[in-house]
Amino acid sequence: MRRKLAAGNWKMNGLKASLAELTALAAAPAPSQTDRLICPPLTLVAQAAGVSGGIAIGGQDCHTATSGAHTGDVSAEMLADAGATSVIVGHSERREDHGETDALVRTKAEAIWAAGLTSIICLGESLAQREAGETLDVIGTQLEGSTPDAATGANTVIAYEPIWAIGTGLIPTLEQIAEVHDFIRAKLVARFGEDGNAIRILYGGSVKPSNATEIFAVSNVDGALVGGASLKATDFQAIIDALDAA
C-alpha cells in the first residue's frame, strides 16, 4: 500500500515570518495515511527543519555535484545537512527558466539519492502540446529520460504537473488526470516491475481546498504537489485532510 503524500512547494516565496504557517501546520494532528512535506526556499530550509515537527522538509533543486566551484548552487548533501529529506527536480519552471534537460534531471536525481534523500521528479506538458494531442508522448519521453534506472518507491516520487495548469486556476478534467496518471503507472510497472507499483505519483497544478477531494478520488493519484495553496496553513491543511480521507 502506497502512503499518500501532500507536498508543498513554496517556490520563491517566504521570509522568516512565514515559518509561522509551518508551525501552525505542525500543531495540527498528524494524518494517519498521509505524509506531509514542505519545500521552502533555500534560505529557510534549516530553520524550517527545526520547527516542522512531524512535517518533512525538502529542497526545490540541487546541483549534480557534491561540492565545488559552483557559485550560487547548492548540493543535495548540503540540503541533507540542513535537514531536508527530499528534493524537487525537473519542475517546469526549472526546465523553462534554466533550460534543464531530461538528462540533467536524471543526473540530479542520482545525486539526490547519493545524499540519502528522495527525488521528486516533475513532468508536464505545455498547453500547445496538450492541444496538439502530444501529452502522452511528452510525458513518456520525460519520464523515461528523467528517471534513473534504480528508481524505487523508497527513493523516487513522480509529480505530474501540466504546465498550463500551474498557478492559472485551470485544471485538466478528471478524465485527463486519470489518463496521464494511469499512463505513468503503466510505464513505471513496465520498466521497474513491482517497484513501479510502489512509486508514488502526485498531481500538481492549481490544487486547492475546493477541488482537492475530487482530484484525490482519481485512480493512481497518490497525493499532490501544491504551490500557492501550501503557503497558508489553513489552505494546505484542508488539502491534507481531503487527501487523508480519500
Catalytic center residues: 91, 161
Q: Cell numbers of 20, please?
A: 509561522
Residue pair 232/11 in contact (Cβ under 8 Å)? The answer is: no
CA distances from 155 to 98, 121, 125, 159, 241 (A): 25, 11, 24, 14, 25
Residue whose cell numbers read 523508497: 154
Q: How far apart are the first and last CA of the chain?
A: 14
C-alpha span between 242 and 211 (Å, rounded): 9
Closest CA to 225 of 2, 5, 3, 44: 5
**3-state DSSP percent of the chain in helix, strand and coil, to 5:** 45, 15, 35
> Where are the alpha helices (H) located in the chain, listed in sequence order?
19-27, 45-51, 76-82, 92-98, 102-114, 127-131, 135-146, 174-192, 194-198, 212-216, 233-245
d(CA 184, CA 114): 25
Q: What are phi and psi of 181, to 5 degrees?
A: -65, -40
Reduced to 3 states, what is the DSSP secondary structure of residue 192?
A: helix
